[in-house]
């Protein structure tokens, strides 16, 4: 897992990447989000941490979900669980999902 300083730098780089992919300037992002251009610059360089509110404003501006920004910060076990869910569990019928969850609850209650 990354240390706290590297997390801010990582998140900033991803924000900058998506701003550039959207061909936007920091001033344009500022107009969309209500955030000061200086604050956006500091976030992108990892000099400051944003709030959940800031995360959501930037995600809305770039038309992405927060998991796009945060995925690389997850540990490998969590990434594997997401992969299993995406590749297998999500494709099951509602009835099959309910059956599996019933068995999980049953085994956990022992």
pLDDT of residue 3: 57
CA atoms in the 13 A half-sphere facing the CB of 70: 11
Give the pLDDT confidence score for residue 109 in this predicted structure. Answer: 86
CATH number at residue 21: 1.10.260.40
Distances (CA, A) of 90 to 80, 97, 108: 14, 8, 22
C-beta of residue 91 within 8 angstroms of C-beta of residue 105: no
What does each of the 110 residues of the chain score in pLDDT, given as a tens digit? Answer: 555 558 899 999 999 999 999 999 999 999 999 999 999 999 999 999 889 999 999 999 999 999 989 988 889 999 998 888 888 888 899 999 899 999 999 999 87
Tell me the residue range of the domain where 93 lies. Answer: 76-108
Q: Are 94 and 51 part of one and the same domain?
A: no
Residues 67, 87: one domain? Answer: no
Do 103 and 54 fall within a single domain? Answer: no
Do 46 and 93 belong together in one domain? no
Q: In terms of pTM, does the model score above 0.85?
A: no
Q: What's the confidence (pLDDT) of residue 6?
A: 87
- For residues 16 and 65, state if they share a domain: yes
């Amino acid at each position: 897992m990354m240390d706290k300083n590297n997390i801010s730098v990582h998140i900033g780089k991803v924000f900058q990447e998506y701003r550039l992919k959207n061909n936007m300037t920091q001033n344009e992002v500022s107009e969309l989000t209500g955030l000061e251009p200086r604050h956006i610059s500091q976030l992108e360089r990892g000099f400051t941490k944003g709030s959940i509110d800031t995360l959501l404003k930037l995600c809305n501006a770039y038309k992405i979900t927060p998991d796009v920004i945060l995925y690389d910060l997850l540990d490998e076990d969590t990434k594997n669980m997401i992969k299993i869910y995406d590749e297998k569990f999500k494709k099951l019928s509602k009835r099959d999902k309910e059956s599996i969850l019933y068995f999980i609850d049953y085994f956990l209650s022992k």
